[in-house]
Each structure stands twice: as structure tokens, then as C-alpha cells.
Chains A and B, each alone.
Chain A
Amino acid sequence: MSGLSIAQISNPSQLYKSGLVATCANCHGTNGNGVVGASIPLINTFTSEQMLTQLQAYKNGSREGTIMPQLAKGYTDEQLETIALQLGKKR
């Protein structure tokens, strides 16, 4: 049911944020719910804080990887924060 788990959108800002988050979905699943067992690391277990730490580490080069270090560098810090806030598991 991953497809239905997108948050309700009731204003433009929510729509833009959902659009930004959707750039991750090709590899990590719609709204961060990746296909279980499909080999790409699942990100839906992270809190927003944990996710932001990882994204920043990819961006500043302190964490290695294959695709993510290259993609994280293409987003602004603000965009990474939005992604982490939207996709991170709420405590």
C-alpha cells in the first residue's frame, strides 16, 4: 500500500515539498517506502534527524557511497532539510 501513504496536500507549500521528496522515490520508493528485499537501502526506518545527518554527510564527503554522494551534492542544504523532515519517521 506504499502508494497511498503520501501525506495529505492542502496548500502549495505541501505540494512543492511532496514534489521535492518525490525526486528520491525512483530509487527509495514512493514516499520513502522502498521495495523490501530490492537491495537498495531502505530509508523508512530513519528519523528526520538521522536522515539529515546522513544526507549532510553524503553532501560534505564524510560518508562514502555509490550514487548518494553524487546526488546529495546537487541539493541545497534547505532542500535536504525538507526531504529529511518529510521522509523521516516521526517520533
Chain B
Amino acid sequence: MNRRHFLGQSVAGLGLLAGFSGQARANLQKAEILVIGGGYGGATAAKYLRLFSNNTARVTLIEPNAAFLSCPLSNLVVGGSRTMADITSSYDNLSKRHGVKVIQDSVVSIDPDKKTAKLASGKILSYDKAVVSPGVSLIMSSIEGLAQANKEGVTLQAWKAGSETVTLHKQLAAMRDGGVFAISIPEAPYRCPPGPYERACQVANYLKQHKPKSKVLILDANQDVTSKGALFKKVWAEQYPGLIDYRPRNNVIAVDAKTKTLKVEVEDDVKADVLNILPAMSAGAIAVNTGLANSNGRWVNVNYLNFESTAQKDIHVLGDSIQVAPAMPKSGHMANQHAKVAAAAIVAELSGWEVNPAPVLTNTCYSFVNERQTIHVASVHQYTPEKKTFEPVHGAGGLSPAPSTLEGIYAWGWAHNIWADSLA
């Protein structure tokens, strides 16, 4: 049977052709696998659990959003050159093509002893294996007054693509010419290291065209730009002279919503017109509340061979929630790669096989510096058994030499391909 002919088989029929032997195959087929969170990690895990099991594993995906909203590229929506429609994809193919049961709901608690998850709707689902991919939680209490300011709509974070992304653009569009758009960055690690600097570019790109007397103020708690530093600084100097005021070692500790004033550690207070304040982050709430965040109470330690939590058996954690290996970024691309290693390991375990002793991960990350040009960073991470971790391969990976329109075109190609790889 050739590959094309094979495509014509029904999803249900595929399992019958599987070569898994006896009991192992039965274990794989009867296991209930619950994937919690349908972002880059969770959606990919759901799809690849089906693919790697020859479509025999029973996979349920729980995701509160009706559609997949991409955080990568959402800064273009903040800057106004793209809309949410450009970064939204359907979950339909996960069920239609791949036989994943998709439930639009959220998990409010996990009982690791009973191996159950409780949904917001009240339903309780049992699992044999849980894959937890909840992204990050923003620790609003880490900045005094931030929770209240967010509630009043004065400070938005827009660090998860959605309604705040659109509202932040509206705030930018409504800002007076001569105003200040402030972005604050927490100490690393946080989701998407180059994201805040890309956002600064997108806001500056808008201001340059529409409100040239205005400014972007970046208050960075870190010592320096945390990703693609030299490239971003060159762009700021060459494309946005006088528009971006970058201040490293500026840690925002409080916000006054009424006066739109930011209190910065050691430095003078700062007033701004739009306040885009990013607080410290942790593993997603469900991971923290389940007691999985055993690295400083913020991130989840995992066994990198199968991404199983070191705190709870049979709960595998992916993406931004994990305590990262050296030089491993918290990115959507990386979450997709985690998912494939975890999916293969879960299928191996349920089949009675050894898990792959030598998995590989890659990362590719584009940042748009205006509406057309991007800069990238790429890396390859091989598993090192002696250290039980992934390490970046020396001599591989790297940065763009300069902003590139061709790479801007590739960035959209990357997006359409990774969305298809995760969802279609």
C-alpha cells in the first residue's frame, strides 16, 4: 500500500493496522490521556499522541478558548498592522482529522491521587496520563496596585493573545501625540524573551507614522536586553531614533492607576499615558495549584526525557510552565517541540517500550521590527544523558545578521506551518 492510498483509510481503521503487540497495545488503547491547555504545547501534544499511537490512543483536550489565538505575531495586532483574525486558527481539525476529543472548558483542579481533573462545568474526568500545558500565570501581586489597575482597565498586560491585545492597540490609537507608551519587563525568566522588545518596535512603528512626537519607554528589570540585544538596539537607533527610550535595571515595583504613575526601584517615579506593565510570571495556575511548581514555587521541574513532573507521577508538563534547561527559551516553538518528545515518551511508556534516550529540540523565533522585517534567533538542543538535561549545541544556532524582509516573509510561513503542525 503506498502512502497516498493509505491516506484514504478512515481514522478508526488505522488502529487496526497497528503493529503493537498484545498487552502493550491494549494498554495504549485503553489509556485515557487528558491534555490540559490547547496552546502551542497542548494542541501539539494532542495531535502527536494520536499520530505516534497510530491513532489508537484516547486523547481529550480541554481548552477554554473557542479558537487558537497565537501569542507569536500578536504584537503586530498591538501595533495595528494586523488583526486578531490573522493570528486565529480553529481547533476543528484536531477532532475531525485526528480524532482528538476537544472540550471547551477549563480545568479548575487536578487530584493526582485519584487521577482526576475537575472542570469548571463541574464534570470530573479520569486520566491515566495527564499532559498539563497551561502557559504562564502573571503574578499580579508582584507589583503593588497592578491587580487593581488592571481591573480598572488602566494597565493591560496583553501577554496572552486575546481581548487585551485588541484593547491595548485601542489605547495606543487613542493616545495623544506627545504621549508616552510605557512597557515594563520583569526579570527573566518570563514568557517570550524577545517579546517586549518586539512590542516596543511595533508600537514605535505605529507612533512614527501616526504620532511622531510620542515615545516608547522601556523599563527593563534586567541588566540588558534579554534576547537579540544588539539587533534590537541597532533597529531602535536606525529605524526609531528618538522614539524609544530604553532603561535597563529599571524594576517597576508599584503602579498608581489614578495618576498613571509607576514607582521604579531606586529610580525616580515615571508618568506615562499608556501603561503596559508585565509582572513576574510563574507556571500556569493549574500547575501551581496542583503542587507541581517545585522550582522556587514558580516553575515545574520535569524529567526532560518524558516531561513528567518530578512532583507527581503521570502528569507531564510542557511549554512555558517548566523549569527550563540551559539556554532553553520559553517560546511557542519550544512548547511544540516539548510536546512531541512528551507524546512519543507517553506512547512508548504505554506500549511497554523504553522512552527515546536521545531526544532533540530546536527553537526558531522571529521578531518583527516593523510590519515587514524580522530578526531571528535559532538553536538546537540535544539531550545530554550524563547531566540529564538538554544542552544547546555549541556552534549551531545563531542570530540574523540584520533585519530582513525575506525573513519577514518566512516568519509568516513559519506561523502558518507551525499552526498547521499543531492543529491541522
Q: Chain A interface (Cβ within 8 Å of chain B)?
A: 1-12, 15-16, 18-20, 22-23, 25-30, 34-35, 38-40, 66-67, 70-75, 79
Residues in A with CB closer than 8 Å to B3 are 5, 7
In the assembly, what is the distance between CA of A8 and CA of B18, in Å? 7
B246 lies within 8 A of chain A by Cβ = no
Contact B364 A67 (CB under 8 A): yes
Residues in B with CB closer than 8 Å to A22 are 48, 340, 344
Q: Chain B interface (Cβ within 8 Å of chain A)?
A: 3, 6-7, 11, 14, 17-20, 47-48, 51-55, 93, 97-98, 333, 336-337, 340-341, 344, 347-348, 353-354, 356, 358-362, 364, 376, 378-382, 392-393, 395-398, 400, 404, 406-407, 409-410, 412-414, 416-418, 420-421, 424
In the assembly, what is the distance between CA of A35 and CA of B20, in Å? 31
Contact B344 A18 (CB under 8 A): yes
> Looking at the complex, which one of B19, B341, B353, B381 makes contact with A8 (CB distance below 8 Å)?
B19
Interchain pairs with CB closer than 8 A, number = 152
In the assembly, what is the distance between CA of A8 and CA of B25, in Å? 14
Residues in B with CB closer than 8 Å to A16 are 344, 356, 358
Contact A71 B356 (CB under 8 A): no
- Residue on A nearest B94 in the bound complex, by CB: A3
Contact A75 B413 (CB under 8 A): no
Report, nearest first, the 9 A-B pairs whose CB atoms are least far apart.
Answer: A74-B380, A10-B19, A74-B396, A39-B413, A40-B413, A73-B396, A74-B393, A38-B416, A19-B344
Closest chain-A Cβ to B29's Cβ sits at a distance in Å of 14
In the assembly, what is the distance between CA of A29 and CA of B418, in Å? 7
Residues in A with CB closer than 8 Å to B336 are 26
Closest chain-A Cβ to B358's Cβ sits at a distance in Å of 8
- Most chain A beta-carbon neighbours within 10 Å: one of B51, B358, B359, B407: B51
Contact A75 B364 (CB under 8 A): no
19 A-B contact pairs sorted by A residue (CB < 8 Å): A3-B97, A5-B7, A9-B18, A15-B347, A16-B344, A23-B337, A23-B360, A27-B418, A29-B421, A35-B420, A39-B409, A66-B376, A66-B404, A67-B376, A67-B378, A70-B396, A71-B378, A71-B397, A73-B397
